[in-house]
Amino acid sequence: MRTDGDSWDINTGVGSTALFVAAARALAGRAADAPAHDPLAEIFVRAAGPEWVDLLEGRVPGHPLLTPDFGMQFQQHQIARTRYFDDFLNAAAATGIRQVVILAAGLDARAYRLPWPDGTVVYELDRPQVLEFKRETLTEAGHKPRAQRHEVPVDLREDWPNALCENGFDPSLPSAWLVEGLLIYLPPAAQDQLFDAIDALSAPGSRIAIEQMDPLPEAAATAMADSDGGSDWVRLIYNEPRSEATAWFGARGWTGERVYLTDYLQELGRPLADGVQQQSLINLVTVVRP
């Protein structure tokens, strides 16, 4: 169960979800024709311990990330959203945006992976231990950021905008914001505060990409809690009704659209993994401030 002010590192609590999704990206991105590829994800997973190496080497066939009823869908979800957000950030850079804020960056290695134009600054916000693990692991493996990368160690339930601005973020310039794999780990009130803060810090021309999930029906949440695959995850989320991002930002003058993950997979020409209904709760949003 979650509590106000709970804390974690890469192997515990909400921090372990960063590792879990990185492992899903590493596995799903192996196929040559995968929608996206994140080769750095495998470096994190290997550094996380022998049980993770065993997963990558195929020695844990029953691992939750490999089960047909949860794991294979989850892998498909992760690699599709990687593609969506990679495309979003590349498009934002093409409009001239040079300030990028990745909220709950976890093991997102886009600062090291994407072809950023000169002068791009990427701000990564997460808990300090998570950011440290990322930097130390990639430095050890010989990788360098391809943009100016600023770590902003914060708790996103608290006053993070000050920390962001103290690290050099300039609210008078347009910015691109990424909110991937975060909202369900925030109580609904903290999500609204987060939206308020992004809105207040965004100059005209800014854009935001968000992953959100409609609440899991109670029966599905209970079934997941009882299953092998998703049990831990269900205990880490706030499965509660909350603001819908397109409507919330639309009411404040932003324009944009959302697409359900299943529809997005079809747009990409991808057959849906078996039993994919649950994924249709997940949707991807892009909004732009005119």
Binding interface with ligand SAM (CB under 6 A): 14-15, 17-18, 21, 104-108, 126-127, 130, 155-157, 180-182, 185
User: Strand pairing of 207-213 and 282-288?
Assistant: antiparallel
To the nearest whole angstrom, how small is the minimum distance from the Cβ of residue 15 to ligand SAM? 5
Q: Is 79 helix (H, G, I), strand (E, B) or coil?
A: helix
Quote the DSSP letter at residue 14: T
Shortest distance in whole angstroms from residue 106 CB to ligand SAM: 2
In angstroms, give the least distance from the CB of 213 to ligand SAM: 12
Q: Which is nearer to ligand SAM, 135 or 205 (CB)?
A: 135
In the complex with ligand SAM, the residue whose CB is nearer, 64 or 106, is 106
**Segment 28-35 long-range contacts (CB within 8 Å, at least 24 positions apart):** 28/75, 28/76, 28/78, 28/79, 29/79, 29/82, 34/79, 35/79, 35/80, 35/82, 35/83, 35/268, 35/270
Nearer to ligand SAM, 49 or 253 (CB): 49
Helices 39-47 & 15-28, crossing angle to 10 degrees? 130
By beta-carbon distance, which residue lies closest to ligand SAM? 106
Q: Please tell me the distance from the alpha carbon of residue 265 to that of residue 40, in angstroms, as a whole number.
A: 23
User: In the complex with ligand SAM, which residue's Cβ is closer, 23 or 72?
Assistant: 23
Q: Which residues pair with 48 in a beta bridge?
A: none
CB of 179 to ligand SAM, least distance (A): 8
**Residue 246 beta carbon to ligand SAM: minimum distance, rounded to whole angstroms:** 20
**Closer CB to ligand SAM, residue 96 or residue 189?**
189
Angle, nearest 10°, between helix axes 15-28 and 71-94?
A: 90
Cα angle: 55, vertex 233, 130; to 5 degrees: 70
Closer CB to ligand SAM, 121 or 178, in the complex: 178
C-beta of 240: minimal distance to ligand SAM in Å?
A: 15
